[in-house]
Structures are given as structure tokens and as C-alpha cells.
Amino acid sequence: MAQKETVERILDAAEVLFAERGFAETSLRTITSAAGVNLAAVNYHFGSKKSLIQAVFVRFLDPLVDEIERQLNQLQAEKERLTVEDLLQVLTSSVYEIHGRGSNRATSFMRLLGLAYTQSQAHLRKFIGERYGNAFQHYASHLKPALPGATAADLFWHTHFALGTAIFTMSNFDALRAMSENDTGERTPVDFIVSRLTAFMAAGLHNAAHE
Amino acid sequence: MAQKETVERILDAAEVLFAERGFAETSLRTITSAAGVNLAAVNYHFGSKKSLIQAVFVRFLDPLVDEIERQLNQLQAEKERLTVEDLLQVLTSSVYEIHGRGSNRATSFMRLLGLAYTQSQAHLRKFIGERYGNAFQHYASHLKPALPGATAADLFWHTHFALGTAIFTMSNFDALRAMSENDTGERTPVDFIVSRLTAFMAAGLHNAAHE
DNA sequence: GTAAGTTTCAAACGGGCGTTTAGCAGGAAA
DNA sequence: TTTCCTGCTAAACGCCCGTTTGAAACTTAC
């Protein structure tokens, strides 16, 4: 009992702090003191800082990937060919399904996903690739029929352009929203941003097919 | 003479190493030993590691921003209203103008720009904002007439979506190209990627105007 | 109640970091 | 020749890091 509590307190604190400052910039001492546990607890329960980072992602990605898979299968049972808009919708509604609409946890997670790409944590990218590579391939395989006429190179690059748009927006979410608040004078609702973002990605992706 | 040589050797080494590994992950000892100068030289010539990071950006951004401004003015003399495609073209041709097409230096710089956004270097973002904020505003001011019908919020978000697409692609340039080589079996030319990227961004941006 | 097994804890270890210091080399000015 | 200044350098300083250790505290089982 006491163990589980400690493990989860560490994961909770690490998730928030990593998202705020990045991995290298967050020390184990910061995490453990925020979690109210002893410094040595991380190495006792997780083995190392690297393993802790991976554990944070597993706790988040495992249920999300399952949900995406579930929605994908359900949608495929209804219609044979999925559109780009369908595929993007699966992503956003999966995140919404697992955590509330625009919850703090969801934005934390978005930041973390962005950091996984941009920070120099080779072990993490390798780990994520091995654990979730198949799920990603499965999702991406639906894009090919959704964008007839696109070559393999087109598909690859446009997928990653879209991915980049999303990840950049995610990982700078708070900063961007603050800037736009200064700019336009009002706070943009999350739903507005998400719908704009998916529309932007869809437009770019469609561009891959008819050229 | 000896001074100038030392300063530039440090900048050269720092530029490459920062781009490869990030700022926090590159120690002054690594930089100075790669540059063949004494460890203390960085603090003697630049004052601190932070100032060195800023100096790397100044050496790169100052001439680039001048070139963008020049091309923008020249284009504006030819036609009164610039299109989205014009504006994107100015960016790519400015980079090409200052450094060769697809030179190592240009890809280093792209990585650095990405890192400036994604790594936690508050001092750097502040510095860049203060030094180049006006130039950015000037450039962005041309977007409004190029996208009639878009609201201020539309403009803000779609500009940053496009920025995100470019920065993500830039900062993961080598990794993405290696992945696509494994994927499709052949090495994608830089020109292909750049033209695809700008087409993706243009499609997304136009989407802001007619909705 | 005692033994075995887990979990927690204070303390320390070794190492890498950015920065500082005090002094050296060598050309310019007097 | 002496003085001054700039560029350079070896060495050290203090700090924070992830990790390890050995013992204390607690839980479980007999």
C-alpha cells in the first residue's frame, strides 16, 4: 500500500515537473521533494532517472493507444474507407475520452510528447519507437487510402509535417495561448485551437494528394 | 588578430555542437576542446555560457534578417500586395542567399532555431524577441492583406501552426531524412523537402482565410 | 515474539559543471 | 628599459547532479 502510494506520488510529480521544465532540467531532488518522498525512492522503485521518464510515458500512452485502436476499429466497422478528417478526429476524441476536455493532464501530456521529440533523450525515443511503433504504423496505414495519388515519399513527409504542427503547438501550448491573449485581448478556448489545428493539418495533408 | 581567431573558433565549434546536442547538453569543456582553445576563453571573451549562446544566434540571425528585409522591400516595390507564396519564398531564398543551398551551416541553423523554441532557455527567447521582434512583426504584417477574411485570432494561430511545422521539420531534419531513407529506400533531396514543406504551410495558411 | 522480507531514510560518494583567480607572454607606448 | 595593457592559461572553487550504501522502520508470516 505504502509502496503504491510512493510510486504514484513520484509519477504524478514527475509528470508535471517534466512537462514544465524538461527532463534534464528537472532533478530527482526537485521531484522527490515535490512528491514528499525520500530522494532514494526513485532509484529504489524505478532503478534510474531514465526508467522513471519511461514510466511516466507508459502510464500515459498505454491507455491512450488502446483507446485510439478501439476507435479506429469501431470506425472501420462502420465505413470501409476513412477520411483524413476521420483519422484526425480519432486522435482528438481519444485524448478527450481518456482525460477530460482540455484538462491540465492532457496539456501536460502534450508538452511531454513534444519534449520526447525535441529533447535529447535517445533512450526515450528508442523506447517509444519499440513499444508503440506498431500502433503508429497501423494508424498511418489508414492514411494511404485516404490520400489517393500520394507517393510514399509524399505520405511520409506530409505525415511528419502534420505531426510537427501538432507537437509544436502542444509543446508550446501555454506560451502560445499567453501570447495570443496579449495579441488579441481575449483568451482563446481550447476547442477553438484544436479545431483550427486539425483544419490546418487536414488542409496540408490533402495537399499531398492532389499535386 | 589572435583574439578574433579565438572568438570565431569558439563560435564555430559552439554552433555545430549546440545544433547536434542542444545547449544544456553541450558543456563549455566540450566546446573549447573542439575549438582547440582554453576553457577559460569562453568566459573571458563572452562573459558566460548564456552570452555565448546568444552570440551564436546573433552571428547567424543578423545577416539573415537583413536579407529578408531587403527581399521584402524589393518585392513590395514590384507589386503592391504579396501572396502567401511570395512571403514563404522570401524566407527560403533568404536562407539560400546567405548560405549555399542545403549547406551544412543552413541545416545547423535550422536545428538551432528549433532548439531556441523547444529547449528551456528563457534568456534566449527573451533576447531573440527583443532583438528581432520588430523584424518579425514587419514580416507578419504582410500576412494580413495576403489572407483577406481571416480574423486576428485566425492569423495568430495559423501563423504559429506554420511556424511550428517549419521549426519541427528543421530541428529534426537529419533524423527525419534518415527515417525516410529507411522507409522509402532513397535519400530525399533537400529541395524536394523544402518545396513540400512550403506547399504544406501555404495550404494550411490559406485555410485560415476561407472558412 | 521472533524472524524474514520490504520499504524508507540520512548520509555520503564520485563526477561533471560554469565560473573565478592569479599569473604568464608579448607587443605598444613612454 | 620600464610600464602598461590585452590575450591567454593552468588550476582551483563551489555547486548540483544521479546513484549507492547501510541501517532503521515497518509489514507480514509463523
Give the CATH number of the domain where residue B21 resides.
Answer: 1.10.10.60
Q: Which one, of A180, A195, A185, lies nearest residue B208 by Cα?
A: A195
B62 CA vs C17 C1’ separation (Å) = 31
The pTM score is 0.87
Do A71 and A30 have their domain in common? no
Give the CATH number of the domain where residue A78 resides.
Answer: 1.10.357.10
Do B23 and B70 have their domain in common? no
* A contacts of B143 (beta carbons < 8 Å): none
What is the pLDDT at residue B184? 75
Contact at CB, A197 and B152, closer than 8 angstroms = no
Q: Does residue B26 carry a pLDDT above 80?
A: yes
A11 CA vs C14 C1’ separation (Å) = 28
* Rounded-to-integer distance, Cα A129 and Cα B205, Å: 31
Do B129 and B41 have their domain in common? no
Nearest amino-acid residue to D19, taking CA and C1': A43
What is the pLDDT at residue A1? 40
Do B17 and B102 have their domain in common? no
Judging by beta carbons within 10 Å of its beta carbon (0-12, 13-18, 19+), is residue A150 exposed, middle or buried? buried
What is the pLDDT at residue B91? 93
Do A28 and A96 have their domain in common? no
Q: What is the pLDDT of residues A69-119, one digit of tens each?
A: 999 999 999 998 899 999 999 999 999 888 877 677 887 888 888 888 777
A201's grid cell: 493539418
Contact at CB, A118 and B120, closer than 8 angstroms = no
Domain limit, last residue, from A29, A47, A65:
A47
The answer to whether residue A113 is domain-embedded is yes
On whether the CB atoms of residues B156 and B167 are closer than 8 A, the answer is no
Do B42 and B64 have their domain in common? no
* B contacts of A199 (beta carbons < 8 Å): 207, 211
B144 CA vs D25 C1’ separation (Å) = 68
Give me the residues of chain A with pLDDT under 50, please: 1-2
Percent residues over pLDDT 90 in chain B = 59
Do A157 and A94 have their domain in common? yes
On whether the CB atoms of residues B102 and B191 are closer than 8 A, the answer is yes
On whether the CB atoms of residues A112 and A57 are closer than 8 A, the answer is yes
State the residue range of the domain holding B40.
1-47
Q: What is the pLDDT of residues B80-111, one digit of tens each?
A: 889 999 999 999 999 988 887 767 788 788 88
DSSP state letters, B24-89? TTS-HHHHHHHHTS-THHHHHHTSSHHHHHHHHHHHHHHHHHHHHHHHHHHHHHH-SS--HHHHHH
Q: What is the pLDDT of residues B112-169, one digit of tens each?
A: 888 888 777 889 989 999 999 999 999 989 999 999 989 888 898 999 999 999 988 8
What is the pLDDT at residue B108? 85
Contact at CB, A152 and B184, closer than 8 angstroms = yes
Which member of B25, B179, B193 has the closest CB to residue A24? B25
The answer to whether residue A108 is domain-embedded is yes
For residue A197, give every residue at least 6 positions away whose Cβ sits within 8 Å of its Cβ, in sequence order, or none.
A165, A166, A169, B157, B161
Do A19 and A89 have their domain in common? no
Q: What is the pLDDT of residues B33-65, one digit of tens each?
A: 999 999 999 999 999 999 999 999 999 999 999
**Residue B82 C-alpha from the chain's centroid:** 22
What is the pLDDT at residue B191? 85
B9: Cβ under 7 Å from strand D?
Answer: no
User: Into how many domains does chain B fold?
Assistant: 2
